[in-house]
């Protein structure tokens, strides 16, 4: 569904991503793992069309994305839930969700989709009139994912959804990601939380200093000596 080949991405003279490749097939959870500053968010921004200087090839359903604007990519079904949630703090939960339905396709089905999101996240329904800024970190993350779903993604890209959350909430967010896959959604999951991510992902790529250094089936990576040593501290 999504294919990245030989991707280089730059901020001015700084090269943040070097020759990266990645593939996501329909219905999979694919993880992109790596430490701070590895280049994970840069790859996400390149997929979404938010980086000015990119070389290489990114395609979605066999169409090259290079000529499409960020907005057109969302229309095509590529939806990013950014790191740090980036909700509108002084809008209510429901208003934030409504802001997600900004494409033509999604606007037409806004009401049905809000009901779907409320079904997936009953907590958001209970708090639909509450200002986003007064929600807990976990609730805000649910709201950010819900807002992403309102854009009717074919692939949803979650950039570090568990960042800064307490362990119980981290577990809940991972359960939600699995639920999304069970609903038929395709997920690209960006994470630093290696062990828990590999437990729910189908396949994973490890990024270090802008390069993909390891890749494979999540289950195999979880048992690989190299991954255990480098990432799991075993
Ligand atoms: P984190 O988990 O900390 O978000 P990351 O793996 O997502 O890390 P990126 O945000 O992609 O890493 O950053 C990769 C490199 O690019 C870093 O060295 C960072 O300083 C640099 N970088 C990121 N955004 C910019 C920017 N807007 N301008 C200049 N350099 C940037």
What average pLDDT does the chain have? Answer: 93
Residue 6 has a pLDDT of 97
Model confidence at 234, pLDDT cuts 50, 70, 90, reads low
Question: Is ligand 1 within 6 A of the CB of residue 24?
Answer: no
Residue 27 has a pLDDT of 97
Q: pLDDT tens across 152-205, in order?
A: 999 999 999 999 898 999 999 999 999 999 999 999 999 999 999 999 999 999
Residue 135 has a pLDDT of 93
| HEC sequence for the chain | CEEEEEEEEEECCEEEEEEEEEEECCCCEEEEECCCCCCHHHHHHHHHCCCCEEEEEEEECCEECCCCCHHHHHHHCEEEECCCCCCCCCCEHHHHHHHHCCCHHHHCCHHHHHHHHHHHCHHHHHCCCCEHHHCCHHHHHHHHHHHHHHCCCCEEEEECCCCCCCHHHHHHHHHHHHHHHHCCCEEEEEECCHHHHHHHCCEEEEEECCEEEEEEEHHHHHHCHHHHHHHCCC
Taking residues 71-90, what's their average pLDDT?
A: 91
Buried b (16+ CB within 10 A) or exposed e, 59-74: ebeeeebeebeeeebb
pLDDT at 36 over 80: yes
Order across the sheet with 203-208: list the strands. Answer: 78-81, 155-159, 186-191, 29-33, 203-208, 211-217
Q: pLDDT tens across 126-142, in order?
A: 999 999 999 999 999 99
| Entry pTM | 0.94
Indicate which residue's Cα is closest to atom 27 of ligand 1. 11
Domains and CATH numbers, the chain: 1-74+195-234 (3.40.50.300)
Give me the residues paired with residue 22 across strands: 4
Taking residues 21-33, what's their average pLDDT?
A: 97
Question: Is ligand 1 within 6 A of the CB of residue 40?
Answer: yes
Residue 140 has a pLDDT of 94
Residue 13 has a pLDDT of 92
Atom number in ligand 1 closest to CA 39: 11
CA distance 21 to 171: 29
Q: pLDDT tens across 199-223, in order?
A: 999 999 999 999 999 999 999 999 9
Question: Is ligand 1 within 6 A of the CB of residue 37?
Answer: yes
Residue 231 has a pLDDT of 75
Indicate which residue's Cα is closest to atom 23 of ligand 1. 42
């Amino acid at each position: 569904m999504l294919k990245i080949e030989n991707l280089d991405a730059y901020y001015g003279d700084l090269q943040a991503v070097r020759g990266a490749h990645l593939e996501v097939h329909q219905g999979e959870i694919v993880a992109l793992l790596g430490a701070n500053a590895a280049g994970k968010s840069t790859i996400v921004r390149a997929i979404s069309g938010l980086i000015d200087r990119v070389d290489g090839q990114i395609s979605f359903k066999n169409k090259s994305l290079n000529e499409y604007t960020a907005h057109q990519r969302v229309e095509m079904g590529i939806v990013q839930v950014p790191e740090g949630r980036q909700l509108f703090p002084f809008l209510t939960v429901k208003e934030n969700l409504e802001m997600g339905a900004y494409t033509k396709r999604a606007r037409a089905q806004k009401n049905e989709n809000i009901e779907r999101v409320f079904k997936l996240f009953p907590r958001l329904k209970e708090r639909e009139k509450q200002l986003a800024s007064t929600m807990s970190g976990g609730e805000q993350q649910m709201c950010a994912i819900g807002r992403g779903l309102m854009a009717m993604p074919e692939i949803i890209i979650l950039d570090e959804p568990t960042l800064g959350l307490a362990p119980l909430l981290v577990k809940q967010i991972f359960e939600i990601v699995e639920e999304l896959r069970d609903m038929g959604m395709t997920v690209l999951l960006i994470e630093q939380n290696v062990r828990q991510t590999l437990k729910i992902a189908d396949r994973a790529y490890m990024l270090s200093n802008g390069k993909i250094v390891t890749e494979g089936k999540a289950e195999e990576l979880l048992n690989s000596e190299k991954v255990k040593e480098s990432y799991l501290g075993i």
